[in-house]
Chain A
Amino acid sequence: MGNFELIWWVLALPVIGFLIQSLLGQRIVGLFGQTYGKKVAGTLAVLPIAAAFVLGAGLTLTLMDMPATSRSVVMTLFDWITVYSISIPFEVVIDPLSMTMVLVVTGIGSLIHLYATGYMAEERDYTRFFTYLNLFIAAMLILVLGNNLAMMFIGWEGVGLCSYLLIGFWYKDLANAKAANKAFITNRVGDWGFMLGMFAIVAFLGTNADRFPAGDGRYLSFDRMLPVLASLLSENPGIATLIALLLFVGAMGKSAQFPLYNWLPDAMAGPTPVSALIHAATMVTAGVVMVNRMHVVFEFSPVASGVVAVVGTFTALFAALIAFGQTDIKKVLAYSTVSQLGYMFVACGVGAYWAGMFHVVTHAFFKALLFLGSGAVIHAMSHEQDMRWYGNLRKYIPITTATMTVGWLAIIGVPYLFAGFYSKEAIIAAALGNHHATFLGGSTEFTGWLLLVGAALTTAYMTRMTLLTFGGAQGRWQQPETYEAAHADHHAHADHGHRAHAHHHGHAHDDPHGFFYTDEELARREALEPHEHHHHLTPDYKPKEVPVSMWVPLAVLALLSTGGTAYFMEHHHAFQHWLYPPFGGEHGTGLTMIKGHPVIDPEAISGHPHGMLGNKMALVGLSVAVMLIGLAYAWAVYGKRLPDKEGFDMSRWAKFRLWAMNQFGYDAFILKLLVYEGGKTVGNACAALDQKLVDGIVNLTGAVAQGLGGLARQAQTGYVRGYALVMLMGGVALLVYLVSALSGGAR
């Protein structure tokens, strides 16, 4: 038991890394000089994450050695929020689910950190980048390790913050800043649902506080909450549906499901390692992790599960279609991520939670690989991201080509040899054999068939991307006439011109407080500022292979993306039973307590088998068939007649692709509805209301008082004798009254 204390180090190491980078980073770079300083700082950023991975692996091994019934250890650091009515400690849980994610986060995290030391080497704000990245790892670990929903929420919003900061990393371009805002705000919509879900759980459990040990208000702690929920929700599926749907709104935001998906493609504005780590491998899978954690609730609500499955299916297909229209290599991968996340949610919806997690892991491998590979391509292509200018890159960057090919084969699901096959197969099998989720009163089996269609689409667009990038006989940037023509208007926007305009006031400021730079200091500062070159490709450009720090992670991830790892995870249900041990449950309920932590055998608890497609070989056949269809289509369109179809003239684009590129108008519609028109209208109306009506009434009251005063002031002539006369008359009147009253009174 004792060594589980090490989990605090797993959490603390990224935090230490964060503190080093944020407080000392600049100094380290300054101390060792730009080149070596960055290397030292980069090493200091990678090491804590790698060390956390080693510790996490050790803890996982310890956990594996324990009997399945005791694989749940709750560790409490301190009381976070403790009031009479509720208690939320700062606590973590070490169990198969959390440790799986710890390994994914720190493992892939350290690889991507390593990659980033190379990718970001020329960046001026090098340490700022690693500050955010280390903070992200810390937040993500809190998310997956937290033993209560509130702690999960710390991580949940923490990773959202890091995502915001990293999308806006190159903040001088306002488009990036706007993409960052969009990501944060869309995520907040999800967080709103997440919070309400938490509140619903507390409100529900609060009235059943007698089911808790006396004086223990840990309503949000998984080890307390889930058993009680498991025993109470069976009676009230309505509440299960409410809680499940609210939580799923949170998952939709974080995991980019329709209708909250549209921040993720914009998030590609961040540096590519960020896209790989946050927007593909780890953060966006948080929703799946959360659904797995809270699967008890979903288990009791076939309706909510059906919604999850259908939303997942729709997102998977919708994003896959959009991916066809993208020309930016990272955007293709972004929509691919959205689509794959849809697959994971289908798995969760149909009750095969483990399959969702399985896909989280394999997807983390191959999607991180693809993103890092695309980063290598972009790096090699002098920051050109438009695939239409790629082509024949296999000749120039062989290592990248080889590793990315592995990623491509993994995502299209080449049977048995590559990782994607196993997890995708498990999901489709579960969806086809589903008896759990219902949608509009009917079965959700159709999700499985639609996912097969999605698999064909996935194969097609990923093949398109691969062919456009690496295929072809000649690189398209080498065809100068087309390239220059297409970039002609781009040049106008390049920010070369800005600096010329920035003339400065030469006059000496009146500056008693020392707020401003003197002219000399200013000149020195400007001299230090690196001149930002706007790279663009010239026809004689030769792409170069990436440095070793970048291709080593690629190779490792390529290795992980092959079938070997996934085979061992799938073999004999190893991964499924690691997450969800098949106990059958006490009293036949399917609920097994692992040291107060419930683990549910989904099939046993809901009283009916969730099912898997019986004939697995038939499914393999189907999968191979759809894959071949996709391959054939892509090969026909992009392999054979590439320049014609993927022409550089926008007017020759198929209407569908243009439509797909614009997300079928969804994003524009939402922006118009909520921001540009609807939001502005409501905002202006409210602002006007505030000025005119609410404040108007206040000012009117003042004006009325002033008006009455104005009337009264007519009497104030300013002539003293006028006042004296009035006074005299008053005195006489008073006298007359008194005399008459007195004499009257005497009578």
Chain B
Amino acid sequence: MNEPTGFGLVSVVTFLPLLGAIALMLLPKEFPNTHRYGALLISILTFGVSMVLYQRFDATTYHFQMTEFIPWIPQFGIHYRVGVDGLSIWLVMLTTFLSIISIWFSFYVSHRVKEYMVLLLVLETAMLGVFVSMDMILFYTFFEASLIPMYFLIAIWGGERRSYAANKFFIYTFAGSIFMLIGMIWMSGQYAGITGERSFAIADIQNLVAGGTFWSTAMHLQPLLFWAFTIAFLIKTPAFPFHTWLPDAHVEAPTAGSVILAGVLLKMGTYGFLRFVLPFFPDAVQKEAGKVVALAVIGILYGAIVAAMQTDVKKLIAYSSVAHMGFVLFGIFTLNHTGLVGASYQQLAHGISTGALFLMIGLLYERTHTRKFSDYGGLKAQMPVYSALFLIVMLSSVGLPGTNGFIGEFMALLGGFDTAAKGLYGIPFAYVVLAGAGVIFAAVYLLWMFQKVFYGPITNPDLKRLKDLKRWEVAMCGLLIVFVFWGGLHPNTFLKPMEPSIAAIRMMALNPEGDRPSWTNLETEIDRKGNLVQVTPRERAGDAWETVNVVVPANFYPESESEEPIIPRLTGEGVEPH
């Protein structure tokens, strides 16, 4: 794993947008259409390459694939290590896909087009970098680098309070990740203390954690480090009470910025939980899960209630993001396989549906330049196609079965119920009941918004002039809606490739020391039933493997640990099923 490999496909996907941005920078700004079509072309190209990446992706392994290693700062064990696994492959795809949409929409931008397009492309590279990094410092670099273009997008093309929102967004998320940086440095120091050589590689450190040696001398520090990472990701996610930067940023950001922000940037937080927190801090995770789930549940309800009180469409959707990301957080920290897979799926679903909501609001805003409910009403008669598309997207956000929004929430809650019913990880039953009530509130505020904007008579005479969507706008929304239904009717397309990785991450957090899977040990795999198995030695990740024996059998429905579980294990003596 430590042999220099040179650049490969993952790097191409990651840096193609940056190269495109450099190329655009060299072109004079007097030709905005060149920049528009150029940026669109580059983003489509990037999506195409990411499709090749997906084509070559092996869904049977939990290991990193198509890894690249290029020495960077060897003195500190910091290297350019990239690769994808089941967790990141979909986020890479989501990023490249949403980038096309946001660049396409940004054809409406007419102020400083060149800079806008360049920033969007730079942002794409930064986001992709976050998801493919296998080195903590590289991850941190991209994590922070993504702030800069977004900062400028808000600060230059934003609304009235853009500088306040941009500063808050930047400083808040930046301040949070400082703790994470300190944590990373400590982790690498601990690694050096044990092995004698420095490394910032995620897989290296996780390998020691899996073996149990990493924390053996520093068990008392584990909760501290857990919270250092967790705070950073809670802010990014954002979870209650660290969410207040989000509504401000969303309201002020230009549409493309909102789409990217909701669609991808928030996922960096939840991705961080899965990539760092669960594998690195197994003991703390089990002990502290209840607290994080409490925050998630508060976020679900609180986000929904505050959303219901908004008078600004974008602010409402921003608060709905708090609630929806609460489900992701909830699913992750129930530490149940169904819940974890559901949470990972909900990341994608939220990216599509909330991205689409912001996009559609953006389409309207381009026409009317207002986001206040009071300026709308009766649009359904005026713009039937728009309202039909908006309805579909809204229902996906409500979580209607058959749309992608349902699958993630359903699975996260299902997993949560199982965990809570057995009294595991300090998650009381009430949490699940309350989180479930979140689906009611989602209907409340979204239907209310729909009623305010689309139903009733047209009271604002300016709306009478509005034409329905143009063809290319319908096509753009249609692209997203395809995924709304695809994700809702055949979620297996998305669930299958991510599942081994998720199962491995769960085992990293829950299995006892020594029995945890490791990202460096290529002789373990997750088989098709979810067992951790020993396999025939392979040359490298991605090669085919055969099971030798089962190391740890899958245990998706663990037995209860609490005194009086709600759902105990039974062995019925009735009729046997045939």
Direct contact of A and B (CB under 8 A): yes
- Among A84, A174, A236, A596, which residue has its beta carbon within 8 angstroms of that of B451? A174
In the complex, A394 has a CB within 8 A of chain B: no
B residues within 8 A CB of A657?
Answer: none
B residues within 8 A CB of A84?
Answer: 337, 499, 503, 528-530, 554, 556
In the complex, A687 has a CB within 8 A of chain B: yes
- Among A79, A156, A185, A232, which residue has its beta carbon within 8 angstroms of that of B572? A232
In the complex, A665 has a CB within 8 A of chain B: no
In the complex, A481 has a CB within 8 A of chain B: no
Q: In the complex the two chains form, what is the Cα distance from A694 to B456 in whole Å? A: 35
Contact, CB under 8 Å: A203 / B422: yes
In the complex, B229 has a CB within 8 A of chain A: no
Q: Spot the interface stretch: A6-14, A406-414, A502-510, A731-739.
A: A502-510
Nearest-neighbor residue (CB-CB) of B572 within chain A: A232
Nearest-neighbor residue (CB-CB) of B342 within chain A: A83
Q: Spot the interface stretch: B53-61, B195-203, B460-468.
A: B460-468
In the complex, A628 has a CB within 8 A of chain B: no
B residues within 8 A CB of A230?
Answer: 574-575
Mark interface residues in A202-234 (1 if CB within 8 Å of B CB, else 0). 111011110110010000000010011011111
Q: In the complex the two chains form, what is the Cα distance from A254 to B421 in whole Å? A: 26
Q: Spot the interface stretch: B33-41, B212-220, B442-450.
A: B442-450
A residues within 8 A CB of B245?
Answer: 698
Q: In the complex the two chains form, what is the Cα distance from A227 to B574 in whole Å? A: 9
CB distance from B558 to the nearest CB of A (A): 8
A residues within 8 A CB of B440?
Answer: 185, 188-189, 192
A residues within 8 A CB of B546?
Answer: none
- Among A174, A209, A682, which residue has its beta carbon within 8 angstroms of that of B557? A209
B residues within 8 A CB of A82?
Answer: 492, 495-496
In the complex, B569 has a CB within 8 A of chain A: yes
In the complex, A637 has a CB within 8 A of chain B: no
Contact, CB under 8 Å: B575 / A199: no
- Among B240, B338, B366, B489, which residue has its beta carbon within 8 angstroms of that of A513? B366
Contact, CB under 8 Å: B451 / A181: yes
Contact, CB under 8 Å: B455 / A504: no
Q: In the complex the two chains form, what is the Cα distance from A233 to B568 in whole Å? A: 12
Contact, CB under 8 Å: B410 / A195: yes
Q: How many residues on A have C-beta within 8 angstroms of the other chain's C-beta atoms? A: 92
B residues within 8 A CB of A188?
Answer: 439-440, 443
Nearest-neighbor residue (CB-CB) of B407 within chain A: A81
- Among A174, A203, A208, which residue has its beta carbon within 8 angstroms of that of B456? A174
Nearest-neighbor residue (CB-CB) of B491 within chain A: A81
Q: In the complex the two chains form, what is the Cα distance from A183 to B28 in whole Å? A: 57
In the complex, A612 has a CB within 8 A of chain B: no
Q: In the complex the two chains form, what is the Cα distance from A181 to B455 in whole Å? A: 11
In the complex, B306 has a CB within 8 A of chain A: yes
CB distance from A164 to the nearest CB of B (A): 8
Q: In the complex the two chains form, what is the Cα distance from A234 to B433 in whole Å? A: 26
Contact, CB under 8 Å: A522 / B569: no
Q: In the complex the two chains form, what is the Cα distance from A556 to B336 in whole Å? A: 54
In the complex, A168 has a CB within 8 A of chain B: yes
Known contacts: A83-B499, A188-B440, A215-B529. The answer to whether A695 contacts B556 by CB under 8 A is: no
CB distance from B338 to the nearest CB of A (A): 5
In the complex, B539 has a CB within 8 A of chain A: no
In the complex, B185 has a CB within 8 A of chain A: no
In the complex, A686 has a CB within 8 A of chain B: yes
Most B-side CB within 10 Å, residue of A81, A188, A586 = A81
In the complex, A80 has a CB within 8 A of chain B: yes
Known contacts: A596-B577, A596-B578, A702-B171. The answer to whether A695 contacts B244 by CB under 8 A is: yes
CB distance from A112 to the nearest CB of B (A): 24
Nearest-neighbor residue (CB-CB) of B420 within chain A: A203
Contact, CB under 8 Å: B413 / A195: yes
Q: In the complex the two chains form, what is the Cα distance from A176 to B570 in whole Å? A: 50
In the complex, B457 has a CB within 8 A of chain A: yes
- Among B302, B341, B417, B503, which residue has its beta carbon within 8 angstroms of that of A200? B417
- Among B244, B310, B503, B567, which residue has its beta carbon within 8 angstroms of that of A698? B244
In the complex, B380 has a CB within 8 A of chain A: yes
Contact, CB under 8 Å: A85 / B572: no
Mark interface residues in B481-525 (1 if CB within 8 Å of A CB, else 0). 000000001111001100100010000000000000000000000
B residues within 8 A CB of A212?
Answer: 577
In the complex, B559 has a CB within 8 A of chain A: yes
- Among A22, A207, A517, A586, which residue has its beta carbon within 8 angstroms of that of B465? A517
Contact, CB under 8 Å: A686 / B306: yes
In the complex, A644 has a CB within 8 A of chain B: no
Contact, CB under 8 Å: A683 / B421: no
- Among B168, B444, B491, B577, which residue has its beta carbon within 8 angstroms of that of A211? B577
In the complex, A719 has a CB within 8 A of chain B: no
CB distance from B564 to the nearest CB of A (A): 11
A residues within 8 A CB of B400?
Answer: 157-158, 161
Mark interface residues in A515-526 (1 if CB within 8 Å of B CB, else 0). 111000010000
In the complex, A498 has a CB within 8 A of chain B: yes
- Among A157, A206, A589, A697, which residue has its beta carbon within 8 angstroms of that of B575? A589
CB distance from B568 to the nearest CB of A (A): 8
Q: In the complex the two chains form, what is the Cα distance from A195 to B440 in whole Å? A: 12
- Among B407, B418, B576, which residue has its beta carbon within 8 angstroms of that of A202? B418
A residues within 8 A CB of B336?
Answer: 85
Contact, CB under 8 Å: B574 / A232: yes
In the complex, A601 has a CB within 8 A of chain B: no
Mark interface residues in A15-50 (1 if CB within 8 Å of B CB, else 0). 000000010000000000000000000000000000
Which residues does A use to contact B, with CB under 8 Å? Answer: 22, 78-86, 150, 153-154, 156-158, 161, 164, 168, 171-174, 176-178, 180-181, 184-185, 188-189, 191-192, 195-196, 198-200, 202-204, 206-209, 211-212, 215, 224, 227-228, 230-236, 239, 242, 495, 498, 502-505, 509, 513-517, 522, 586-587, 589, 591, 593, 596, 679, 682-684, 686-687, 690, 694-695, 697-698, 702
Besides A171-B455, A181-B448, 16 new A-B residue pairs in contact (Cβ under 8 A), listed by A number: A79-B492, A85-B341, A86-B338, A157-B401, A157-B406, A172-B455, A181-B451, A188-B440, A200-B421, A208-B570, A231-B572, A231-B575, A232-B572, A236-B568, A239-B567, A687-B309
